[in-house]
Structure 1
Amino acid sequence: MPLDNQKLLDVRSVDAPANSLPADGHGHVRDLETYKAMWKESVENPDKFFGEQARNLLVWNRDFDQVLHKSANFVDSPAWFLNGQLNAAVNCVDRHALADPNRIAIIYEADEPGEGYTLTYGELLKKVCQLAQLLISRGVKKGDVVTIYLPMVPEAVISMLAVARIGAIHSCVFAGFSPGALRDRILDADSRVVITIDQGLRAGKVIEAKKIVDDALESCPDVQTVVVVERTGKGGLIPGRDIKYGEAGKFKPYCPAVPVDSEHPLFLLYTSGSTGKPKGMQHSTAGYLLGAALTAKHVFGLTPGDIMFTAGDVGWITGHTYAVYGPLINGVTTVIFESTPVYPTHTRYWDIVDKHQVTQFYVAPTALRLLRKYGHEEIEKYSLKSLRTLGSVGEPIAEEVWEWYFHNVGRGRCTICDTYWLTESGSILGTSFPGVTPMKPGSCGYPFFGIKPVLINPTTGVEVDERPAEGVLAIANPWPSMARTIWGDYPRYQDTYLRPFPGHFFTGDGAAMDHENFIFVAGRMDDVVNVSGHRLSTAEIEASFLEGKLDNEPMIVESAVVGIEDELTGQAIVAFVVLEGWLKDKIAAGEHTVSDMSREAIQVVRKDIGPFAAPKKVFVVGDLPKTRSGKIMRRILRKIVSGETDQLGELSTLSNPQIIDDLISTVQNSA
């Protein structure tokens, strides 16, 4: 399909800063030609490429005898490293503890500054082994699913590794889900053991995690054990079922790890499905570990002594791969952050970077947009000179935010790795390579090793070979870390990912590739609005809002665009925008009105993209509904605009549920 968005042709290329180039001697990509040669080999000869990488980066109990088994025309999920055996905890902890037990594995930044601590690899090994034995004493065995309902505390990492050490399967559930959502995930996984915390602390507020678990377990009669981390010391235990996490300290400091087959499930991670029923994505052990190790090493340029700060929760795939497995497999230090970017002040991230000399920082654009509105004066007080690589994850990053990140946080010295990937992919699919590949604001760069991205015409199902072009983004080959199935529902896995476009893995996203093959992800296909035959990316329109100015000053801090049914055009665009503080002051002083700002916002899109992309309605609101991880819940906005306010669904994951009434009132009063 031809490229409708001609703006992409004009996105400037930014050279990769040499400061981001990893130190020589550790096998990193150090120039563009090497990247191209390695990528070519990885897609044309995956057996050779990934076989060598797996033997170099992972520790095996038994070597594999076949690298890849795949079905004809990619109609089934693959199997990797057949007949090999290994253990995830050994790869993440044991080998580093044996080589250098005093190396720091975890820096814990607690909710309140100054209350954190560090764990060495030697200490981590002891704690993992002790908790593993506690789980064994409670009947957990190889193949069992253990549900982990913990915030970002070291015990979350320890729990994941302890479960893996004994060959069991961990299922981390975001510690913000409601009792009903937690119940559904426990029942679907047939989990008999839950690990939780008495109370969580976030931005100075108490989260009653244990109470949520107790409420959920009223409908989970098969759960026999609840291990409770004592964070505040408040919260009772149910005799016979509950046990204090501290009881693990009574066990020996070492226990042998259980080797598992390469394709043995390592974890389940539930993600939203279009049907409303959560999908338990099942990831294998060897393939996932290799994907985590390889991407963490090359995307972020990890070298010995590095300190990686991934501001992501273990309840989501970002926390799994780049706060836990990726850094630890590579033997570096990971920062585990319990709080929010603005607690107790909006400089908390920069405090952490300078205090611990963080080398890699990985965060979502939502957090960057939030911090950008505070300006750059406060950031200038920080050195940030330790940073080499900056990452972005979760959604496309708007050019204005990219520029702010590059110049104010990275000081022009750091590659911005605008990464694209999915829960289903396990690890990064598209990215820049630090110090090596050029960058384009808004683009996730080039494909990672083993990834062959293609564009597909959604009408014909045929690959689009021309460039520049746009279409459905699909992957034309299997890769090691891809999810193998949906837990208990392989036909749904096939229907969702492998059958929509036979011979390809369907990502569910639309994308464009420019004349230099830079990838620009437009967002989920269900976040593409079709107005009078024009397929418009909601992400593109949202980025346009952020670029809009009034009196040469930025107008809008955040925006969310949704499509609604329209009798005339098929679909219509509706937007919710949060104004910059100076405009709010102008409205309060009577110098502007909310209606004025709605009209100005519409004009921004008309001028930037075209009249066909102009929203039918723009609602000026105080805030947008977001999860605690920062994701904007556009599903809720669609329901409100459509008048389905009695069908808003699950709201327990929202960090700001109090705004729902205001959003409903704003929409209803504008009718």
Structure 2
Amino acid sequence: MTTAEAAAPAAVVAKTEAEAPHVAPAASLIGTKYIKMPANDHALAEEADRAPVFCVPERMRAEPGRVPHVTSLAQYRAMWQKSIDQPGEFFGEHARELLSWNKPFTIAKHGGFEHGDHSWFVDGELNACYNCVDRHAHADPNRVAIIWEGDNPADGHVEVTYAELLRDVCRLAGALKAAGCKKGDSVGIYLPMVPAAAIAMLACARLGLVHSVIFAGFSADALRDRLMDGKCKVLITADEGRRAGKTIPIKRIADEALYEARSVETVIVYKRTGGQVRMIADRDIYWEDALKPHRPYCPPVPVAAEDPLFMLYTSGSTGKPKGLVHSTAGYLLGATLTTKYTFDVHPGDKFACLGDLGWITGHSYIVYGPLTLGVTTLMFEGVPTWPTPDRYWSLVEKFKFTQFYTAPTAIRALRRFGSEPVEKYDLSSLRVLGSVGEPIDPQSWEWYFNVVGKGQAAIVDTYWQTESGSHMITGLPGATPQKPGSASLPFFGFEPIILDPHSGTVLQGNDVTGVLAIRSPWPSMARTIHGDHERMMSTYLLPYPGYYFTGDGATRDKDGYIWVRGRVDDVLNVSGHRLSTSEIEAALVADEMCAEAAVVGGQDELTGQHIVAFVSLKPTNVPEKDIPTLLTHSVRRAIGPIATPKKVIIVPDLPKTRSGKIMRRILRKIVAGEVDSIGDVSTLADPNIVQVLVDLFQSYKK
């Protein structure tokens, strides 16, 4: 046990460096190459160094029969070092342990960043669906694979066993074969959060088809572009969807997209609501009619380890979506390994990831990671605050989830309602609480830890990307003392480096701030951008040759902990001072009046840029006219005068996607006066908020 682990009970928070329990410095924690040196950005480094330290909760050590997979920093350090020094051996051992192979591999690692030919387990063969479904259906057919909870609590829930999942997957695989799909073909999936979406993904994997899940909140144009780019042969969709009590016309949107997406020959329509929709003869078929003729068993097709499992689109800086292609074996290992170790998953656990299958979080931590490990996973159709703000907590008590994974935006939204909705429920089953999507502000972190976890559930603040496929930087529940706001330490196989953004020089030592990059390939890294490998190279591998460019800025503090500072283009330059928008947002949210904040830069003839803050409020008796000044003072106190917002605009809400991500791009367009080029807003939970924000900003200028 380290000094840090022995020095303080789990719930004790050390508020200053002098009070803090010792955390092993990076020289012993990660590797001798990271030695102590002066900070190159004092404001950011000092903020990181002042952070409180939360030790591993005592429950993680004391619960009978639940010894963590990694129990100390020393064990983590040894495993991490091996994953860096001997990656082929390290990941080869885990690939043999966690995955079932039709043909064992003999070559674990091949290629690198120089040519973008990074590959893993190249001569092996396996089937992802078999790993997720068959082997568990054979071993324990009545074990629950998926718990589905509908949008409306009155809809109740559905439990799908591994045996039932296998039968439905096989029938759909039969339907896809009947539609003419062959190994390597692409299938579009445009479905709400229903079990059919996971079944569709797994049926594609069973046949060696490449699935392309398209978020069900996307517009017809966005759907069309993705179907056309992926050359999808079949589209699996639904009549309608439900979200926060509203009905979403999914089939109607799909029909509009298909006017131009002519590669689609067959449309399979799942009945979610039973609403009446237009069905096109010789193209459209209802789900039950498509599955009915086919046997409940269809043999899985072995595929090469490097064969694509799926493509998933993410926004690019050019505006053209990037279809990131993930391999079968490398991706599956990354999703499984991180599910096991990041969330300390054990047999019998019930895993609640509140993401959406339209994003990488849902792929890795609703479907592939939990199911490969054979545990129970949640699919939740609804939102955290509808119809009441206790929806999440009622689910935890009802199903006794052991892991809970959601976004900082959801945590902040729930925090606005205080502790009462949480305290009505028994959440004692929770062992690990995860955060995903963006850096979590320290105040929300502490609320999550103390109110939701009662100081006895470990928090993992996970940093990763669609491109990475799985966690890159995260704590481990049984081993890592946590600093609220820091993603903490690299996961196995990831060697993060901090680069000078201008020279590309590696910044040695600790207390350094710069561009975050990764030194070497890892198994779950995306292999290419569909149809455009040159773009893959120019976006990720050529900006800093020899390294993977994350696009994010970061600080490595005195203890070697990584603090992600947001996208490089989210760093403001005010009078020659580099300021992190996430840092300013954290200072605003720390004020008791502020519920949420989003900070962007405006052009300024004198200072280069100035700071514009959009904030939503908690209930308060303070006159609204006084609030901008008070919030400005809060930022000055927290960061300094240089970070003073020039404009603080009070808004009813921020532009957020249905998954809860704040679309700062829209706010930048509003501030720049480029309202006409805001683009597609159909992914927003409330598209009407855009005009409200435009009007408020225009009123402020007057």
Give me the TM-score of the superposition, normalised by structure 2: 0.92
Q: Does residue 613 in structure 1 map to residue 643 in structure 2?
A: yes
For 2:692, the equivalent position in structure 1 comes to 662
Q: What is the deviation of 1:26?
A: 8.4
Q: Give the AA of the match of 1:555.
A: M
- Check if 1:301 corresponds to 2:301: no
2:551 maps to a residue whose letter is: G
The equivalent of 1:551 in structure 2 is: none
Q: Pick from 368, 381, 406: which aligns with 1:325?
A: 368
Q: Quote the offset at 1:112 in angstroms.
A: 1.7
Contact 1:74-1:478 within 8 A present in 2 as well: no
- Report how far residue 3 of structure 1 moved: 3.9
| Aligned equivalent of 2:152 | 112
CA distance in 2, matches of 1:491, 1:27: 43
CA distance in 2, matches of 1:24, 1:320: 29
Alignment partner, residue 284 of structure 2: 242
Q: How does 1:75-474 map to 2 (within 5 A)?
A: 75-113=115-153, 114-234=155-275, 235-247=277-289, 248-474=291-517
Say which SS state the counterpart of residue 226 (structure 2) adopts.
helix
| Unpaired runs of at least 5, structure 2 | 1-39
Deviation, structure 1 residue 23: 7.0
User: What displacement does 1:25 show?
Assistant: 8.5
Q: Distance in 2 between matches of 1:239 and 1:422?
A: 41
2:82·2:90 contact (CA, 8 Å) conserved in 1? yes
Mean Cα deviation higher: 208-217 or 637-646: 637-646
Distance 2:420 2:529 in 1: 47
Per the TM alignment, residue 75 of structure 1 is displaced from its structure 2 partner at its CA by 4.1
Is 1:577 matched with 2:615? yes
Instruction: Say if 1:555 and 1:579, in contact at 8 Å, map to a contact too.
Output: yes
Relative to structure 1, is the Cα distance of residues 637 and 2 closer, same or farther in structure 2, using a 3 angstrom cutoff? closer
| Mapped pair 1:32 → 2:32 | no
- Separation in 1 of the partners of 2:664 and 2:558? 32
Secondary structure of 2:676 counterpart: coil
Counterparts of 1:368 and 1:162, CA distance in 2: 34
Contact 2:128 2:206 in 1 (8 A): yes
State the SS of the aligned residue for 1:471. Answer: strand
- Cα deviation for residue 599 of structure 1 reads 1.4
Partner of 1:568: 606
What is the alpha-carbon root mean square deviation over aligned residues? Answer: 1.3
Whether the 8 Å CA contact 2:150–2:381 is kept in 1: the answer is yes
1:366-411: per-residue Cα shift (whole Å, max 9, x none)? 0000000001022111110000000000000001100100000000
Task: Answer yes or no: is the 8 Å Cα contact 1:112–1:344 preserved in 2.
Answer: yes
Residues 462, 157 of structure 1: CA spacing in aligned structure 2 closer, same or farther, 3 A cutoff? same
* Residues 60, 67 of structure 2: 8 Å contact kept: no
* Aligned equivalents of 1:489, 1:15: Cα separation in 2: 46
State whether residues 75 and 503 of structure 1, in contact with CA within 8 Å, keep that contact through their aligned partners in structure 2. Answer: no
Determine the C-alpha separation between the residues in 2 that align with 1:295 and 1:9: 27
Of stretches 9-18 and 363-372 in structure 1, the one that deviates more from structure 2 is 9-18
Cα drift, residue 18 of structure 1: 3.0
Q: What secondary structure does 2:405 align onto?
A: strand
Contact 1:20 1:389 in 2 (8 A): no
Contact 1:82–1:263 at 8 Å: present in 2 too?
A: yes
Q: Which moved more, 1:613-622 or 1:329-338?
A: 613-622
The answer to whether the Cα contact below 8 Å between 1:262 and 1:286 also exists between their aligned partners in 2 is: yes
Q: Secondary structure at the match of 2:108?
A: strand
My pick for the range that moved more, 377-386 or 14-23, is 14-23
Distance 1:662 1:300 in 2: 40
Tell me which amino acid in the other structure corresponds to 1:269: L
For each residue in 1:97-156, what CA deviation from the matched residue of structure 2 results, as whole angstroms up to 9, or x when unmatched?
010001000001111225221000010000000000001000111001101001111000
Q: Which of 663, 669, 690 is 1:639 aligned to?
A: 669
Q: Which residue pairs with 1:503 in the alignment?
A: 546
Tell me, yes or no, if structure 1 residue 558 matches structure 2 residue 599: no
Aligned to 2:36: none
The answer to whether the Cα contact below 8 Å between 1:26 and 1:303 also exists between their aligned partners in 2 is no
> Aligned equivalents of 1:470 and 1:3: distance in 2?
9
Structure 1 Cα separation of the partners of residues 405 and 447 of structure 2: 15
d(CA) in 1 for partners of 2:66, 2:377: 22
Between the two proteins, the alignment pairs up a number of residues equal to: 657
Answer whether contact 1:292 1:325 (CA < 8 A) is retained.
Answer: yes
Deviation of 1:607 (Å) = 1.1
Measured in 1, the distance between the counterparts of 2:439 and 2:68 equals: 30
In structure 2, give the amino acid aligned to 1:331: G
3-state SS of 1:228 partner: strand
CA drift of 1:30 comes to 2.0
What code does the residue aligned with 2:367 have? V
Q: CA contact under 8 A between 2:60 and 2:68: conserved in structure 1?
A: no
8 A contact 2:127–2:302 mirrored in 1: yes
Secondary structure, aligned partner of 2:572: strand
Distance 1:529 1:14 in 2: 31
1:494-519 deviation per Cα after TM superposition (whole angstroms, max 9, x unaligned): 00000111111000000001111111
- The equivalent residue for 2:28 is none
CA distance, structure 2, for counterparts of residue 249 and residue 362 of structure 1: 36
Residues in 1 aligned to 2:653 and 2:60: alpha-carbon distance in whole angstroms? 36
Give the distance between the partners of 1:26 and 1:542, measured in 2 at CA: 38
2:56 is aligned, of 16, 21, 35, to 16
Aligned partner of 2:15 in structure 1 is none
| Aligned counterpart, 1:66 | 107
Conserved 8 A contact 1:75-1:502: no
Find the residue that maps to 1:662 and give its secondary structure: helix
Q: Distance in 1 between matches of 2:237 and 2:553?
A: 38
Residue 435 of structure 1, CA deviation: 2.0
| In structure 1, distance between residues paired with 2:650 and 2:573 | 23
Distance in 1 between the 2:471 and 2:198 partners?
A: 21
Please tell me the residue identity of whatever aligns with 2:354: A
Structure 2 match to 1:603: 633
Letter of the structure 2 residue corresponding to residue 140 of structure 1: C
SS in 1 for 2:677: coil
CA distance in 2, matches of 1:15, 1:412: 10
CA contact (8 A) 2:53 2:481 kept: yes
> 1:589 matched to which residue of 2?
none
Contact conserved, 2:494 with 2:518, CA < 8 A, in 1?
yes
Where do 5+ consecutive residues of structure 1 fail to align? Answer: 549-553, 587-591
In the alignment, is residue 514 of structure 1 matched against residue 557 of structure 2?
Answer: yes
**One-letter code aligned to 1:569:** T
- 8 A contact 1:39–1:449 mirrored in 2: yes
CA distance in 1, matches of 2:548, 2:223: 29
SS of residue paired to 1:61:
coil
Q: CA deviation at 1:452?
A: 0.3
CA distance in 1, matches of 2:60, 2:407: 20
Question: Displacement, 1:285?
Answer: 0.3
| d(CA) in 1 for partners of 2:438, 2:353 | 16
SS, match of residue 160 in structure 1 = helix
The CA distance in 2 between the partners of 1:23 and 1:117, in whole Å, is 31
Tell me by how many angstroms 1:77 deviates.
3.7
Taking the TM superposition and a 5 Å limit, the aligned residue runs for 1:515-530 are 515-530=558-573
| Equivalence for 2:624 | 593
Amino acid at match of 1:95: R
Could you tell me how far 1:568 is from its partner in structure 2? Answer: 1.2
